[in-house]
Amino acid sequence: MIYITVPLDSSFKKEDFYCGKSLLDDYLHKQASQDIKRKLSVVFVLPHEEVRIKGYYTLSNNSIPREFVPDTVLKKMPKTYLNLPTTLLGRLAVDGNFMKQGLGELLLLDALKRSYDISTKSAGSIAVVVDPLDIDAKRFYSKYGFIELPDSGKMFLPMNVIGKLFQP
């Protein structure tokens, strides 16, 4: 699979992007470039007519305490790991002009594929974790198998489940 997104750079008109959730719009307009410079996250965008953005997501390294990991996954993990490495899909949004056309699903698959490739080739990660903004976002991620982690409001999809999506 070839990725449908590219890393955000200064050629994009990020201020034209609106998904309707101000936290996600403001992030792209004001903070994303700084986060990239500081190596806090990588921002991937789905381009439209070269400089516009149809959608974006962010990925970062992350870890979760072992007591938050679901039992089915935890039982296979050595006890010496007090925190387990994960990949954080911190934000994902589609511009309002392009919603309900399947792009949210395509962006999510692109993010899962990148995360899976990282976990097999570059840096270990047992799951993709998301931090849904609200109940709508929770419903969106639940549709794709993400389960809620206790106490944190975050959601979790094991990397071995993700791997099955992409194995030939």
Q: How far apart are CA 27 and CA 34, in angstroms?
A: 10
One residue of 53, 59, 92, 126 binding ligand COA per CB under 6 A: 92
CB of residue 165 to ligand COA, shortest distance in Å: 15
One residue of 8, 69, 94, 126 binding ligand COA per CB under 6 A: 94
Query: Counting contacts by CB under 6 A, is residue 145 touching ligand COA?
Result: no
Query: Counting contacts by CB under 6 A, is residue 26 touching ligand COA?
Result: no
Nearer to ligand COA, 5 or 168 (CB): 5
- 80-83 long-range contacts, Cβ below 8 Å, gap at least 24? none
Distance of CA 94 to the CA centre of its chain: 13
Residue identified by tokens 């449908």 is 4
Question: 130 and 89 in contact (C-beta within 8 Å)?
Answer: yes
Query: Counting contacts by CB under 6 A, is residue 32 touching ligand COA?
Result: no
Query: Counting contacts by CB under 6 A, is residue 46 touching ligand COA?
Result: no
